[in-house]
Amino acid sequence: MTRMGGVPADPSYPGRPTHHDFLVLCEVAQTNDNLAELFGIEPLLKGVCDEGSLAYLARSRAAIACERHGLPLTVEWVSLLAACIVDGFAVGHGFTVQRMAEDDEA
């Protein structure tokens, strides 16, 4: 994939970015979702960073977010927010890998 193309404008999705980065982010997120559905999240993170460290950081940041925004500090909220943090980390890592690969192709 080259950086030349982005996402075509579509009036059905007002405000949707047309930048190439949006396309890469969407592709990475979809690939991660498909892999996680088949194998769980662990293979997406294996070798990227220590999973225990990431899980601890995600739970801590989720608890802080609950406190700052007046959300109940429950297992459900902390788990949901921690999962979003880990997902964001995995998408960010995949995005970086994809963009580095594109740079190598250029």
For residue range 72-104, what is the model confidence (pLDDT) as tens digits? Answer: 999 999 999 999 999 999 999 999 999 999 888
Going from N- to C-terminal start, the domains of the chain cover 20-105
Helices (H), 1-106: 20-39, 42-45, 51-68, 75-105
pLDDT tens digits, 12-31: 999 999 999 999 999 999 99
Say whether pTM exceeds 0.95: no
DSSP code at position 11: T
Among 2-16, 21-35, 42-56, 70-84, whose mean pLDDT is lowest? 2-16
Radius of gyration of the chain (CA): 16
